[in-house]
Amino acid sequence: MANAHLRMTLFIAVAALTGPPANARDDGRFANSPLKGWFESLHSKGGGPCCADADGTALDDVDWDTRGGHYRVRIQGEWIEVPDDTVITEPNRVGRTIVWPYYINGRAVIRCFMPGSMT
C-alpha cells in the first residue's frame, strides 16, 4: 500500500511539472511530495533560494536554448539571457527545464534556472 502511495505521489509531482508551462505555487497541494524538500533546498550560486518570492515554471524545449555559451529562456514571448550565477548545476530530479522568474516593473528577472535534457 505504501508503495502505491509513493508511486501516486511521484506521478502527481511529475505530472505537475510535465504539463503545459504553468506557475507552481506552494499552496499545500504538494506537501507530501517526495520532491518538496529538494525543491525547497535549491539555491542559486549567489545563495538566494529559488522558491523565495518566485514561482517555478516548467519550460518546453522550444522555450529555452543556448547562445554564445549562455542559456536563454523565452518568457511571455521575450528571450532573456540567463545569468550564469542563477544556473542550478546539481542533477535535475524531474528532468524538465525549470525557470524561477520574478518581475520588476513588468520585466522578468531570472532568480534560478535548472536546465533539463533537450529531447
Q: Would you kindly state where each structural domain of the chain is located, as residue ranges?
A: 2-114
Per residue in 5-45, pLDDT (tens digit) is 333 333 344 444 444 344 444 555 566 778 888 888 898 88
Question: CA-CA-CA-CA torsion for 102, 55, 87, 115, nearest 10 degrees?
Answer: -130
Per residue in 41-74, pLDDT (tens digit) is 898 887 788 886 567 889 999 999 999 999 999 9
Distance separating alpha carbons of residues 45 and 19, to the nearest angstrom: 28
